[in-house]
Structure 1
Amino acid sequence: MSDAPTFPPLLAGEPVTGRDDPFDRACALAALGCDGGTVVYNVQADRLRAALVVAPEVPLEDAMTMQVVCGIGFQNALGALAPPEVAVHLTWDGEIRVNGAACGRIAVAGPPTAADAVPDWMVVGLDVVLIQTRSDPGETPNVTALFEEGCADVGAVALLESWARHSLLWINRWEEDGNAPLHAEWRGIVQGIGDPVTRGGLSGRFLGVDDRFGMLIRDDTTTHLVPMSTLLETRP
């Protein structure tokens, strides 16, 4: 990485080097009480990883909306930098898909917390494959990298900066206007609605989401709800 990224005033960057995982580092910092708005990042030739520490003020089930917020932020960020023919979508569980193939993910971690309790801290992680390192990428057609999808001119640092800006924009909008704008934006970029799905021991069709983005699964007799809080990766 030749240049350090520049973040908006409300965010503060902290780099990690080598193969250190910024998601793990951010979780450790958050558990120790670091400020919300810390962005831990690791930009390598083949991979971009970053993690945003947030300070939740709402119960876990509502705070999990940060996955949607930061997922939309990434879709907007890459959409602004990539050629117009590049399609960027998300899945309910945080997978990033570029031109239909898996290219990364958005994950959320925090301490074990009841769905109706406010978490002590939360971290949203971003992991994007820039260049495939497999010897034969053709063996995994459902997995891709930005370079292979026409994004060779998208700089990793610029993408990181753009993700931070767009995510902060959507966080502010969520705080002001609630979930309605997120639903409107998310519906246009989520994949899998109408498809068969198995989640949490339930099988059926993915009908969509409830007002807090919980997955609605319809089987032969009824509709089941899988809350977003089930996606939380718990850390000590």
Structure 2
Amino acid sequence: MTEPSFPPLFTGEAVRGDPFAAACARAAAGCDAGLITYRPAPERLEAAIVFAPEVPLADAVLALPVCGIGFQNALGALAPPSVGVYLGWNGDIRVNGGLCGRLRMAADTRDPETVPGWMVIGLDLIAVDATEDPGVKPDTTALYNEGCGDIELPQLLEAWARHTLVWLGRWEDEGVRPIHKEWIGIAHGIDEQVTQGGVTGTFTGVDERLGMLLKSGDTTRLIPLTELLEDPA
């Protein structure tokens, strides 16, 4: 993996271990926002971005769908037109319907009303399928199995940073509305049965903060994005 080049406001750091864990550690130690940690590898794209939110956690977690939109736009621009890229509410990344990767997040607080000192969004994408029998997991896929063999992973990482920066700017200038509109158009699983937070129901859509609306029987439950926070790695 060649060394990627990032747009202004981002700096890159190659790591040997888990980039998500590394980013959490760097953030906790006080690194600057905009650090992108990544692990060079030919078969997998693993990276994480450090943020320094200026809004309470309940709003800051919108960074997850913003980074998801940035990735969808980046891969959509590099992949052939026939390749479909969609996002699951829980961070799943799907390529032509198959689960191909995921986004995840952590912060230094779980209090929705507290402004986080830092937040990390991680990306993990499978490029090469190491499974000897692809039929073992028919719902999964790999990027290079879906007509994207010409995409170099450093190129995709650079594009993710660029497109995410664009959407961060739109979020700051225009608020949540364009994020909501764009995400709905590339969402996977709406109007389908899903299980989230131990509850199974129909995923009917999202609220103004992109919280999941999950209908079970006559009851619709709101699951906020904060429920997707992981403990710092």
Give yes or no for TM over 0.5.
yes
Residue 229 of structure 1 aligns to a residue whose secondary structure is helix
- Aligned residue for 1:56, secondary structure, equals coil
Per the TM alignment, residue 110 of structure 1 is displaced from its structure 2 partner at its CA by 1.3
TM-score, length basis structure 1: 0.96
**Superposition pairs of residues 207-226 of structure 1, within 5 angstroms:** 207-226=204-223
Mapped partners of 1:150, 1:204: distance in 2? 34
Residue correspondence of structure 1 range 17-32 to structure 2 within 5 A = 17=16, 20-32=17-29
The one-letter code sitting in structure 2 at the alignment partner of 1:14 is E
1:159 to 2:156 alignment: yes
- Kindly report the root-mean-square deviation, in angstroms, between the aligned alpha carbons of the 2 structures: 1.1
Listed as ranges, the matches of 1:120-199 within 5 Å are 120-199=117-196
Q: Contact between 1:112 and 1:235, CA under 8 Å: does it hold in 2?
A: no
Secondary structure at the aligned position of 2:5 is classed as: coil
Please give the alpha-carbon distance, in whole angstroms, between the structure 1 residues aligned to 2:3 and 2:201. 46
- Spell out, residue by residue over 1:19-41, the C-alpha distance to the aligned partner (whole angstroms, 9 max, x if none): x1111000000001100000001
Letter of the 2:166 counterpart = L
Q: Aligned AA for 1:7?
A: F
Give the Cα separation in 2 of the matches to 1:202 and 1:113.
Answer: 21
Farther off after superposition, 51-60 or 106-115: 106-115
TM-score w.r.t. structure 2 length?
0.97
> CA deviation digits over 1:189-218, x for unaligned, max 9?
001111112222333211100000110111
**Which blocks of at least 5 consecutive residues in structure 2 are unaligned?**
none
How far off is 1:76 after superposition? Answer: 0.3
Q: Does structure 1 residue 13 correspond to structure 2 residue 12?
A: yes
Q: Distance in 1 between matches of 2:142 and 2:117?
A: 35
Q: Is it true that 1:60 corresponds to 2:60 in the alignment?
A: no
Distance 1:37 1:131 in 2: 28
Letter paired with 2:140: V
- Give the whole-Å Cα distance in 2 for the aligned partners of 1:182 and 1:43: 30
Q: CA deviation at 1:42?
A: 1.1
What are structure 1's unaligned runs of at least 5 residues? none
Instruction: Determine helix, strand or coil for the equivalent of 1:8.
Output: coil
The total of aligned residue pairs comes to 233
Find 1:205's aligned residue among 202, 207, 219: 202
Q: Residue 75 of structure 2 corresponds to which residue in structure 1? A: 78
Give the Cα separation in 1 of the matches to 2:47 and 2:232.
17
Q: Does 1:91 align with 2:88?
A: yes
